[in-house]
Each structure stands twice: as structure tokens, then as C-alpha cells.
Amino acid sequence: MTKKKNELFEWIKALTIAVLLAAIIRYFFFAPIVVDGFSMMPTLHTQDRMIVNKFSYKIGEPKRFDIVVFHATSDRDYIKRVIGLPGDTVEYENDTLIINGKEYPEPYLEEYKNQLIDGPLTEPFNLESIIGQTTVPEGHIFVMGDNRRQSKDSRHIGTVPIEEVMGKTSLVYWPISDIRFAE
């Protein structure tokens, strides 16, 4: 009888440790997320399932063109691409991204740009017309969805405080037929 009690205790202990480790990993390091909507098309599709690396920005800062997940509201997270970093000027002119006076190519948009027949993918703007400042404020990032005509992003919600960013994401793990690193 004692042997069965010891075996049961060992199983309970092992399961408890496994559950605690899973909770710690999910809370501090990695978490699954489901893409909801079309704002990141063609890079990401609605219902793609991804892994968010929560640890990446605990030891580093967001980089231009990272795909990030952030708390947009108390009950909703958004997935967008980092366009502007703190101190950057950001503008669009003739469907071209200009940061700090330099043009930047956006190869992830070429598929959509080639399909257009009715004007630019991204309407012209500058930061001052959107946030009332000429540069991205310290401690904030400027984000945009790849599907520029269908994205609620920093052009609508303003810059995103870095402390609201959950982490970086690039691994699509579902559907299995579409496993890939999104860039």
C-alpha cells in the first residue's frame, strides 16, 4: 500500500512541476496568438496561429520592420509591423516609405502594390498630421499593418508605448500546410 501511495505522490509531483513550468514559460517567454483579421495580409492570414516571443524585448528593443504583438485595448491585442522607432520621422509620399529623410523599400508590400489599379496602397501622410509631432516620441513605436487600406494602426490609434508591446512574432505554426517564418 505504501508503494502505491509513493507512486501516486510522484505522479502528482511530476504533473504539478510540468504545469508550473508550462505556466512560467507561457507567462514569461512564449505564448500562442491567433491572427484575427486581414490587416497583415499578404504576410499573415486571418486564423494563422503564431508564437509570440515575450522574452525578446526584455533583453533588447524593437527593430524596424519587426512584427510585434501589443495591447491595443484592455481586451484586444494587435499584430502590426514596426515602422518608426523613437526619434524617427516617418512619412509616406508616392507610395514610398520615408524615414528620417531616407527611402526604405518594403518588399513585403510588392504583391499588393502590383495588384493595385486605383491609387496608392498607402495614402500620403507625415507624423505631424497624425500625432501632432514631427518624430516618434521616446518610449513609443509607430506601427502599420501590411494591408495598408484595411489596417487600424498608428495612423488611427497613434504611437504605441513600448511597455504595451508583448513581444515579437514571426513563426506561423498553424495551419500545418503553411508553417513558415513571416518577415
Please list the alpha-helical segments (H only) found in 25-153.
56-59, 110-115, 127-131
- State the catalytic residues: 39, 80
Q: What is the CA radius of gyration of the chain?
A: 21
DSSP letter at 41 equals T
In the sheet that holds 90-93, the strands lie side by side as: 102-104, 96-99, 90-93, 125-126
Q: How far apart are CA 133 and CA 59, in angstroms?
A: 29
Q: How far apart are CA 152 and CA 132, in angstroms?
A: 18
What contacts 158, CB < 8 A, 6 or more positions away? 130, 131
What is the four-CA torsion angle of 31, 37, 41, 46, rounded to 10 degrees?
Answer: 60
Q: Dmax of the chain from CA atoms?
A: 80
Measured between its terminal Cα atoms, the distance across the chain in Å is: 58
